[in-house]
Amino acid sequence: MKIEGGYAGKILEVNLTNGKIEKNEMDKQLVKDYIGGRGFAAKLLYDRTSPEVDPLSPFNPLIFATGPLSGIAPCSGRITVGARSPLTKTHGDSNVGGEFATELKMAGYDVIVITGKAERPVYIQIVDDEVKINDAGSLWGKDTLETTRALLKEFGDKKACVACIGPAGENLVHVAGICVDLNRFAAEGGMGAVMGSKNLKAILVRGKKGIKLADIDSWKKIFGEILDLYRSEPTTTIGREIGSNFLLEAHNETGALVWRNGQFSGAELGEITGENLNEKYVTKARSGCSLCCIGCARHTKIDRGPYKGVEFNGPEYYTVDSLGPRVGIDDLENVLYNSQLCDRLGLDSTSAPSIIGFLMECYQRGIITKEDVDNYELDWGNKEAVTGILKKMAYREGIGDVLADGIRAAVKKFGPGSEKYAMHVKGLDIPPKDPRAGHTYNMRYAISTRGADHMRCSGVSAKSGEFAENIDGMPPEKSMKMFVRLEKYVTEINLFNVCTWAWSAYSSSLEVIEKKEKYLLELFNAATGLDFTQEDIDKAVERTILTERAENASYGLRRRDDYFPKRFTQEPLPIKSGGFHPPIVDFEERLNYYYKYRGLDVDTGMPLESKLRELGMDKVAENLEKLRGD
């Protein structure tokens, strides 16, 4: 198998304990079996982790994996960051945009694998073939904005890209993310804490080699056809005009938006809307990642009032709901302030406020008092409390030290009576779309290998943000077959490492998705000079999902871990305008169908031996055989 382009061809290995740096040739079998991105992260983590490896130990590898289309396809500025998660103790990965992935490939590397722990704070500098480990003592304690600016100023080339942590990562906060290119985040799963545990403050990369393409004429033709498709898509226009915050109104109108920790939906949004954000606080139309044709990001600024001086790129929908309706806050400027605060501290701006939402409901129910939470009055909408607790989480001060270890640590602290109000799966919080408002689509939260997650399956969306194909109206057997089809496609996107928003969520029909899928394969073959078939890609998708499942099985995860909190399966979701969404009473049936279609054992949720051997995963099959029956 001869690879002529697309890939840079090297894996960079950095051991921070002994300072050893290796540049290894890409294993062609890895390419064939896992394609790139999330697939590479899954395989490398499976091979290099075990139940004995603590997520915050020097032996937990931190992986940055590009895809073969990173930096060369429309909307392709994506990189996957993987490690065993300190938050969930399971397989962990997070995906982030910007220009970092493109710059890394142009420097000559598809993947960075970082192990060990430096004796003192350091940062890694990558400039093509020159890779150095530099002292970062002067950067330790700085926030993400200060760190990025200081490194770029010292390096003297604004085209360089920086991935760094803030105080939250330094303090090993389990909901700490990694900031890329000033204001983009690999947020979920605590990847920032893993970086901090290695005394690694940042990675700076500058590449000047370019990215080779095997058949540039074919690549240009396909690239142009993809742009034509995007121009014809009505959902792409919404992304350009409003960005992801159009989902605030869309989800709230259908009674799907999370309010007050999921107690109800559909209340008046007031000023917390995408339209209001754009009209009052956005200073330029849009911006995007590498080769972006949508531009969902917004440069935001507050010119007057108590929050004057707030200026940053963001926030997006999941952050706005989490810092707004989820905790009862209706002040958009406060949401913007707290969003930038999370960015600079290096906190996940969805998980951190979700934990605060849990606390607020416990306070509402009389389970905790203000004496339990550093004398904060945790009434819904208390802006000062939310801001104060976010800061305490980042620095592990007072109650923040408990919350810094995630929602399960908070439940342990406040006792069994609090557990019913902890909205998470596997330790990762439920995203801002209530599962009861989409019984099939939101099975994605339950089955995701990294915990409650909206990015493992993203559907086809009409202008309203709802399904063009109403899979929730189908019988469970048919709807779950469609679910697995969409999960498969999103996983392809993760392997190629192109943007999920652009390639999947902004799609008006399944037919459009099928066109995009065809284009991805053609673009991959034109870039690499390979002759892969759709079946080759589909098998790589299966291997990736089953490898993640096998890793989790080694940590003790079984069917019991693919479950929603009881609120979603036992309680209806009231809608303020009237009516309700029913609880997911057929959850078990839907989960059974998912396991059947995905090649998983219906009793345990572990990959079937027959499916593993069919995919050539004999070693994984042998390893899991020792676990069956546990």
The residue with greater pLDDT, 86 or 456, is 86
User: Which range has the worst mean pLDDT, 26-30, 219-223, 510-514, 600-604?
Assistant: 510-514
Angle of helix 144-155 relative to helix 332-345, nearest 10 degrees? 50
Residues 6+ apart with CB under 8 A from 522: 218, 222
What's the pLDDT tens digit per position in 477-496? 999 998 999 999 999 999 99
Note the pLDDT of residue 285: 57
pLDDT of amino acid 286: 64
Nearest to 16 by CA among 61, 48, 52, 50: 61
Residue ranges of alpha helices (H) inside 6-120 are 28-34, 38-48, 100-107
Which residue type sits at 349?
S
CATH number of this structure's domain 436-625, picked from the four choices 3.30.460.80, 1.10.599.10, 1.10.760.10, 3.40.50.720 = 1.10.599.10
Joined tokens for residue 559: 């069917």
How sure is the predictor about 559, in pLDDT bands with cuts at 50, 70 and 90? very high
Kindly report the CATH class assigned to 10-206: alpha beta
Highest average pLDDT, of 287-296, 429-438, 552-561, comes from: 552-561
> Per-residue confidence at 467, pLDDT binned at 50, 70, 90?
very low
**pLDDT band at residue 630, thresholds of 50, 70 and 90?**
low
Per-residue pLDDT tens for 564-594?
A: 999 999 999 999 989 999 999 999 999 999 9
pLDDT at residue 466 greater than cutoff 50: no
161-164 vs 79-84, strand pairing mode: unpaired
Write the DSSP assignment of 281-346 as a string of letters. Answer: HB-SS-B-STT-SS--B-EEE--SSTTTT-EEE---HHHHHHHTGGGT---HHHHHHHHHHHHHHT
Buried b or exposed e, range 366-381, using 16+ CB within 10 angstroms: ebbeeebbeebebebb
DSSP for residue 449: T
Mean pLDDT of the residues in the chain? 94
Residues of the chain with CATH 1.10.569.10: 244-285+298-429
Cβ partners under 8 Å of residue 214, min gap 6: 4, 5, 6, 526, 527, 528, 529
What DSSP character marks residue 157?
A: -
Q: How far is Cα 296 from Cα 287, in angstroms, rounded to an integer?
A: 7
Q: Which residue has the tokens 């799966």?
A: 425
**Which amino acid is present at 453?**
D
Could you report the per-residue pLDDT of 205-242, keeping only the tens digit for each? Answer: 999 999 999 999 999 999 999 999 988 887 777 777 77
Residue 459 pLDDT: 64
Question: Read out DSSP for 199-234?
Answer: TEEEEEEE--S----S-HHHHHHHHHHHHHHHHH-H
> Which pLDDT value is given to residue 308?
95
pLDDT-based confidence at 461, cuts 50/70/90? Answer: low
Average pLDDT score over residue span 437-446: 90
Q: Taking 50 as the threshold, does the pLDDT of residue 8 lie above it?
A: yes
Residues of each domain in the chain carrying CATH 1.10.599.10: 436-625
Task: Give the position of tokens 């009793």.
Answer: 603
Strand partners, 161: 205
Position 500 confidence tier, pLDDT thresholds 50, 70, 90? confident
- What CA–CA distance (Å, rounded) separates 379 from 335? 17
Per-residue pLDDT tens digits for 344-399: 999 999 999 999 999 999 999 999 999 999 999 999 999 999 999 999 999 999 99
Q: Are 356 and 347 in contact (CB under 8 A)?
A: no
**More confident of the two residues 78 and 183:** 78
CATH number, domain 244-285+298-429, options 1.10.569.10, 1.10.3330.10, 3.40.50.620, 1.10.1370.20:
1.10.569.10
Which pLDDT belongs to residue 5? 96
Eight-state DSSP code of residue 606: P
pLDDT per residue as tens digits for the range 316-355 = 999 999 999 999 999 999 999 999 999 999 999 999 999 9
The pLDDT tens digits of the residues spanning 418-435 come to 999 999 999 999 999 999
* Residue 280 exposed, middle or buried by CB count within 10 Å (0-12, 13-18, 19+): middle
pLDDT at 460 over 70: no
